[in-house]
Amino acid sequence: MTSRWILAALALAACADGGPSVRVETAAGYAPPRGATVSVLGVFRDGRMSRDSWDPLSAKISAALGSDKDACKAGWGRAMREAEPDLAQWLDAQTRENGMTEEALARVAPRARGDLVMTLLTYRYMPPARHAPAQARPRAQFGGRRGYARGATRIAPEPEAHVFELSASFYSAREHKLVAEVNLRYEGDDLDEAMDAFATKLRALLPGARCAGWTWPEPAEDSTEATEPSPTPSESN
């Protein structure tokens, strides 16, 4: 951890059965305001922004931010691509090459309605939700990954089977820097258990927070959502 960051809070140590462990870090001198508004950019997973990865995480995180899923939509998606295709293309290329950097967050922050821009990072196994249908349960995803960067790329460690790690990073639009992180490590089999612990720490970090959206307009209802592009042969691991 650099000198810019201090350990603000620690969860209880992980249980012997691999229960969730969550820690919170904040920038030195930063005190999150009560009632902060948060714009969710999306999920950076396995080397690129992933629209589909927000879905299984959204309900718990939205509730922790005092909102429902409809009010807490991720900015990375069709609305951005239709309103600002050049920005969307740049962000996709930038994050695939360098991870999620402060430079990338600075480019999107002016379009956020919230005080903070939240980006999620996960690069390992994601367990199934407690009541997820068998055919809808997410699988482990492995491969080469570049992680979240505080101005420089952080290389993710080699994957560990059956370990779910999730990090939420918060960029202040006013201070033009990263100000907080919430980090989860979980070795169990229940996504809901992991996300309940994550949401508890999120609420403690940002009491009274609520979601705010983005300034680009929502797409027309009859417009169909394009699927995420498949990696080209040169992008494959």
Which residues of the chain fall short of a pLDDT of 70?
Answer: 1-18, 131-161, 220-237
Q: Which amino acid is at 149?
A: A
Residue 216 inside a domain? The answer is: no
Q: Tell me, what's the pLDDT at 167? A: 96
Check: CB of residue 17 under 8 Å from CB of residue 188: yes
Please give the backbone phi and psi of residue 146, each rounded to the nearest 5 degrees, phi first. -120, 135
Within a domain: 227: no
Q: Which two tokens stand for residue 54?
A: 């927000």
Residue 8 lies in a domain: no
Would 2 be classed as within a structural domain?
Answer: no
> Does residue 226 form part of some domain?
no
pLDDT at position 71, please? 83
Q: What pLDDT score was predicted for residue 182?
A: 97
CB 6 within 8 A of CB 28: yes
Give the model's pLDDT for residue 196.
Answer: 96
Number of structural domains, the chain? 1
What is the model's pTM? 0.76
Strand partners, 39: 117
Instruction: Identify whether the C-beta of residue 203 lies closer than 8 Å to the C-beta of residue 25.
Output: no
Does residue 136 sit within a domain? yes
Tell me the three state secondary structure of residue 115.
Answer: coil
Residue 201 structural domain: 21-211
Give a yes or no: residue 236 inside a domain: no
Structure confidence at residue 131 (pLDDT): 60
pLDDT of residue 68: 84
pLDDT recorded at residue 217: 84
Residue 80 included in any domain: yes
Whichever domain contains 55, its CATH number is 3.30.160
Amino acid in position 1:
M
